């Protein structure tokens, strides 16, 4: 099946799987927002509503054995890589059954079995480790790729530049996925970036780059596949620029006073990646409702699972600081 | 036994440990072809190849951050920071990742990495080449910290750090890289982390020190020889601390002088003093005193001797305790 897909178009069945994955992330994050507003989920939460196509397109293109680092906006990447919603929701509720055993929370989701080396509360924090993991694969001669997600804001941080420089210098199998949602928290691109085309930053290191419409999951999947193949074939790292839109605030509860209301309304209406794929596939109202119901049940069940989970004891915090 | 300088002992440890374990690798600025600015990694690139002795660009956060990823894939990287203060750009990686990953993943990830660096003053170097940054590292949960004061310990503590499953920061007294020579066991030599060393036994006053301050404490003990019997304790591993040895050395004399090269406020000596205040009250005959650096940036060479703890200052502190 994979060979056929590389030559021609993705099967409708495969694209419907993508739609389901994206919808699962959407409904999961909407539920997270709802539970936060209900006062059940404390802490700081960042959702990636609008950016689901990047998470799903990239994660679907990964091979077994590949690893990735996520960001503070990590629910989508984690779910897209196959971590069960129960484990993610339980983590948000701080339960031992969570994917980080209730130690990490929303911004520190892990799933080592699935190559999820961790989300990161510090912007740009995951990039150096991805360069290192890729170096390890190269030194061992393993056909694996290490991939980092990060946003446009992270390209202003030192670790971004150190990591890309080292990766290109060492020609390691790494892919750097820039989720360019045009906002660094509340600061628009034109106030934080002196250039418009972020691939220039990769070009400065002599790194190969690919730009893709991040609202088109099929295009993301293909671009990520090309990037991963390039890296896996030993041709060096790739900078994958996915232009996308954050259709919500920086954090749950963000009043977004910094955003033009009319422009934001228009973006929400025209840039929803789930609407795009639904239209492309010609999914009927009834079919979509069926899919939505199925996904909704999964999400509801994850909340029930999380609430019934085990609370950590204070002394649990003393464990695992050292071996 | 071979007689080696402190930096030769470190180099010896590398040769032994890289031979012993193919997962151990060294990375840092100028560590390969040049063998390190202090020659600590001399000969490793030729013997073990450029994949296990990696010359990196000048990028401390990138070096330690890459080491994080290398650990995730099964390597045991040893990162050299060329000078104490050059390690500050990597503090971000150390604090936000290295010290936390094991905890955050419920023990699922191991970080058997080492960060080592020459530290401290007394070598007539400019600012940012003479810092004693141990308190930053000790204050970071999940990280262990060792500071040798002899060639044998420099070899043994580095070997222990390399073999340890946790991240270990090793600070090496650059003042004594070549000025200190000593007997060093050949082949494998490990000094377990968490064990202090009694340098000399005494009954009247206890000098507690680590790193470059240990030879100074010994010189002060020599100077006091005609007057009193002095105990000298080398802490060796700041974290985990050998608390039993500290309390025992304090109980023996009831008078404790803590010597610390770093700036005074919230330095490691304050932690030692606090432990003594909490647990040794009834053994003490006088207040615990500290002889330390000052709360200023490390001064340039014309006045650096005034900054550094001296034999005179230590002797004076000991006499004050005896007269208390």
| B297-309 per-position pLDDT tens digit | 999 989 999 999 9
Under 8 Å CB pairs connecting chains A and B tally to 127
* pLDDT of B293 strictly over 90: yes
CA dihedral (B8, B11, B15, B18) in degrees, to 10, reads 160
All residues of chain B having their beta carbon less than 8 Å from the beta carbon of residue A166 are 56-57, 59, 62, 66
* pLDDT of B75 strictly over 80: yes
Bin B187: left if φ > 0, else alpha if -120 < ψ < 50, else beta. left
| A88-100 per-position pLDDT tens digit | 999 999 999 999 9
Query: What distance in Å separates the CA atoms of residue A250 and residue A113, rounded to the nearest whole number?
Result: 29
Q: How far A162 CA lies from chain B's nearest CA (Å)?
A: 5
At residue B73, the pLDDT reads 86
Work out the angle at residue A89's Cα, subtended by the Cα atoms of residues A86 and A95, and round it to the nearest 5 degrees.
Answer: 95
Give the confidence band of A120 by pLDDT, cuts at 50, 70, 90. confident
Query: What distance in Å separates the CA atoms of residue B59 and residue A261, rounded to the nearest whole number?
Result: 42
Q: Give the B window 194-253 contacts with A, CB below 8 Å.
A: none
Judging by beta carbons within 10 Å of its beta carbon (0-12, 13-18, 19+), is residue B219 exposed, middle or buried? middle
- For A132, the closest of B51, B65, B102 (CB atoms) is B65
Residue whose structure tokens are 């390190």: B36
At residue A191, the pLDDT reads 86
Q: What is the mean pLDDT of residues B106-121?
A: 94
End-to-end CA distance of chain A: 45
Cβ–Cβ contact A132 with B under 8 A: yes
- For A132, the closest of B68, B108, B110 (CB atoms) is B68
Q: Which two tokens stand for residue A212?
A: 């893709």
All residues of chain B having their beta carbon less than 8 Å from the beta carbon of residue A114 are none
Q: In chain B, whose CA is at the least distance from the CA of A103? A: B104
Q: Determine whether the interchain pair A165/B73 forms a contact, defined as Cβ–Cβ distance below 8 Å.
A: no
* pLDDT of A138 strictly over 90: yes
At residue A188, the pLDDT reads 87
By C-alpha distance, which of A116, A111, A108 is closest to A44? Answer: A108
Q: In chain B, whose CA is at the least distance from the CA of A164? A: B62
Q: In chain B, whose CA is at the least distance from the CA of A66? A: B73
Residue whose structure tokens are 């909490």: B278
Catalytic residues of B: 129
Give the strands of the sheet with B237-239, arranged side by side. B53-55, B24-28, B76-80, B114-119, B168-173, B144-146, B237-239
Give the confidence band of B77 by pLDDT, cuts at 50, 70, 90. very high
Cβ–Cβ contact A168 with B under 8 A: no
- For B69, the closest of A121, A130, A319 (CB atoms) is A130
Cβ–Cβ contact A7 with B under 8 A: no
Give the confidence band of B51 by pLDDT, cuts at 50, 70, 90. very high
Domains of chain A, with CATH numbers? 3-308 (3.40.50.970)
By C-alpha distance, which of B269, B200, B203, B197 is closest to B232? Answer: B200
Q: Determine whether the interchain pair A159/B73 forms a contact, defined as Cβ–Cβ distance below 8 Å.
A: no
| B177-203 per-position pLDDT tens digit | 999 999 999 999 999 999 999 999 999
At residue A165, the pLDDT reads 97
Query: What distance in Å separates the CA atoms of residue B31 and residue B40, rounded to the nearest whole number?
Result: 8
A194: Cβ contacts below 8 Å, ≥ 6 apart: none
Q: Determine whether the interchain pair B105/A158 forms a contact, defined as Cβ–Cβ distance below 8 Å.
A: no
Cβ–Cβ contact B105 with A under 8 A: yes
At residue A241, the pLDDT reads 98
Q: How far A102 CA lies from chain B's nearest CA (Å)?
A: 9
B11: Cβ contacts below 8 Å, ≥ 6 apart: B39, B40, B41, B42, B43
Residues B246, B276 contacting (CB under 8 angstroms): yes
Give the confidence band of A1 by pLDDT, cuts at 50, 70, 90. very low
Cβ–Cβ contact B62 with A under 8 A: yes
Residue A27: Cβ within 10 Å count: 18
The H-assigned helical ranges of chain B are 6-20, 44-48, 60-72, 88-93, 101-104, 134-138, 151-163, 213-224, 243-253, 268-279, 301-307, 311-323
The whole-chain average pLDDT of chain B stands at: 96
Cβ–Cβ contact B97 with A under 8 A: yes
Query: What distance in Å separates the CA atoms of residue B181 and residue B160, rounded to the nearest whole number?
Result: 21
- For B65, the closest of A104, A112, A159 (CB atoms) is A159
Provide the percentage of residues in chain B whose pLDDT is more than 90. 95
- Asked whether the CA dihedral B55, B95, B98, B192 is positive or negative, the reply is positive
The secondary element (H helix, E strand) that includes residue A115 is none
By C-alpha distance, which of B162, B120, B127, B137 is closest to B308? Answer: B120
Q: What is the DSSP string of A183-251?
A: EETTEEHHHH-S-S-THHHHHTTT-EEEEEETT-HHHHHHHHHHHHHHHHTTS--EEEEEE----S-SS
Query: What distance in Å separates the CA atoms of residue A128 and residue A148, rounded to the nearest whole number?
Result: 9
Tell if the pTM clears 0.80, that is, is over it: yes
Query: What distance in Å separates the CA atoms of residue B171 and residue B147, rounded to the nearest whole number?
Result: 5
| A244-258 per-position pLDDT tens digit | 999 888 888 888 889
Give the confidence band of A8 by pLDDT, cuts at 50, 70, 90. low
* pLDDT of B139 strictly over 80: yes
Q: Find the length of chain A.
A: 323
Q: What is the mean pLDDT of residues A26-50?
A: 92
At residue A185, the pLDDT reads 85
Classify the complex by whether its ipTM is higher than 0.85, answering yes or no: yes
At residue A76, the pLDDT reads 96
| B208-237 per-position pLDDT tens digit | 999 999 999 999 999 999 999 999 999 999
Q: Determine whether the interchain pair B56/A166 forms a contact, defined as Cβ–Cβ distance below 8 Å.
A: yes
At residue A4, the pLDDT reads 43
- For B142, the closest of A100, A134, A321 (CB atoms) is A321
Q: Which of B48, B50, B62, B107 to mutate to test the interface with A (most CBs of A within 10 A)?
A: B62
Q: Determine whether the interchain pair A323/B166 forms a contact, defined as Cβ–Cβ distance below 8 Å.
A: yes
Q: Which two tokens stand for residue A5?
A: 């897909």
Q: Which two tokens stand for residue B82?
A: 């060329």
Angle between helices A52-61 and A12-37 (to 10 degrees): 130
At residue A251, the pLDDT reads 87
Cβ–Cβ contact B109 with A under 8 A: yes
Give the confidence band of A183 by pLDDT, cuts at 50, 70, 90. confident
Strands, DSSP E only, in A235-313? 238-243
- For B69, the closest of A146, A162, A319 (CB atoms) is A146
Q: Which of A105, A172, A321 to mutate to test the interface with B (most CBs of B within 10 A)?
A: A321
């Amino acid at each position: 099946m994979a060979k056929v897909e590389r030559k021609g178009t993705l099967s409708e069945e495969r694209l419907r799987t993508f739609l389901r994955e994206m919808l699962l992330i959407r409904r999961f994050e909407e539920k997270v927002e709802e539970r936060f507003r209900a006062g059940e989920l404390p802490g700081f939460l960042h959702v990636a509503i609008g950016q689901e196509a990047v998470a799903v397109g990239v994660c679907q293109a990964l091979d077994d054995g590949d690893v990735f680092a996520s960001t503070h906006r990590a629910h989508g990447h984690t779910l897209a890589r196959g971590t069960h919603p129960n484990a993610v929701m339980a983590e948000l509720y701080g339960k031992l059954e969570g994917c980080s055993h209730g130690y990490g929370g929303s911004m520190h989701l892990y799933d080592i079995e699935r190559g999820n080396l961790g989300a990161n509360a510090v912007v740009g924090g995951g990039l150096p480790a991805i360069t290192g993991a890729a170096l390890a694969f190269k030194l061992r001669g393993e056909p694996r790729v290490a991939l980092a997600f990060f946003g446009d804001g992270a390209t202003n941080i030192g670790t971004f530049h150190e990591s890309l420089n080292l990766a290109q210098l060492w020609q390691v199998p790494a892919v750097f996925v820039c989720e360019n949602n045009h906002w660094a928290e509340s600061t628009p691109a034109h106030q934080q970036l002196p250039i418009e085309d972020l691939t220039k930053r990769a070009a400065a290191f002599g790194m190969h780059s690919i730009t893709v419409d991040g609202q088109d999951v099929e295009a993301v999947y293909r671009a990520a596949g090309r990037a991963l193949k390039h890296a896996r074939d030993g041709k060096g790292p790739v900078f994958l620029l996915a232009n996308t839109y954050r259709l919500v605030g920086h954090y749950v509860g963000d009043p977004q006073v910094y955003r033009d209301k009319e422009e934001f309304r228009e973006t929400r209406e025209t840039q929803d990646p789930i609407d795009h794929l639904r239209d492309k596939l010609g999914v009927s109202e009834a079919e979509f409702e069926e899919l939505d119901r199925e996904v909704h049940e999964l999400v509801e069940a994850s909340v029930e699972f999380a609430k019934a989970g085990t609370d950590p004891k204070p002394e649990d915090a003393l464990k695992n600081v050292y071996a | 036994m071979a007689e080696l300088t402190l930096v030769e002992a470190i180099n010896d440890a590398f040769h032994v440990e890289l031979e012993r374990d193919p997962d151990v690798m060294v990375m840092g600025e100028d560590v390969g072809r040049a063998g390190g600015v202090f020659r600590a990694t001399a000969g490793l690139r030729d013997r073990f190849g450029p994949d296990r002795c990696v010359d990196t660009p000048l990028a401390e956060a990138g070096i330690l951050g890459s080491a994080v990823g290398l650990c995730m894939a099964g390597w045991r990287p040893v990162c050299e920071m060329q000078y104490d203060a050059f390690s500050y750009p990597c503090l971000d990686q150390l604090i936000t990742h290295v010290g936390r990953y094991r905890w955050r993943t419920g023990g699922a990830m191991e970080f058997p990495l080492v960060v080592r660096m020459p530290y401290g003053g007394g070598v007539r170097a400019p600012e940012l080449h003479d810092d004693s940054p141990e308190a930053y590292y000790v204050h970071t949960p999940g990280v262990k910290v060792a500071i040798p004061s002899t060639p044998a310990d420099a070899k043994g503590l580095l070997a222990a750090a390399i073999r340890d499953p946790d991240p270990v920061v090793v600070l090496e007294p650059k003042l004594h890289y070549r000025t200190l020579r000593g007997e060093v066991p050949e082949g494998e030599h490990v000094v377990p982390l968490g064990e202090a060393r009694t340098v000399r036994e005494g009954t009247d006053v206890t000098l507690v020190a680590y790193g470059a301050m240990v030879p100074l404490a010994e010189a002060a003990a020599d100077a006091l020889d005609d007057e009193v019997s002095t105990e000298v304790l080398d802490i060796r591993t700041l974290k985990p601390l050998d608390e039993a040895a500290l309390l025992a050395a304090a109980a023996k004399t009831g008078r404790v002088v803590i010597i610390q090269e770093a700036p005074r406020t919230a330095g490691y000596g304050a932690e030692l003093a606090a432990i003594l205040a909490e647990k040794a009250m009834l053994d003490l005959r006088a207040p615990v005193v500290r002889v330390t650096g000052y709360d200023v940036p490390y001064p340039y060479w014309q006045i650096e001797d005034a900054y550094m703890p001296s034999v005179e200052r230590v002797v004076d502190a000991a006499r004050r305790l005896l007269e208390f």
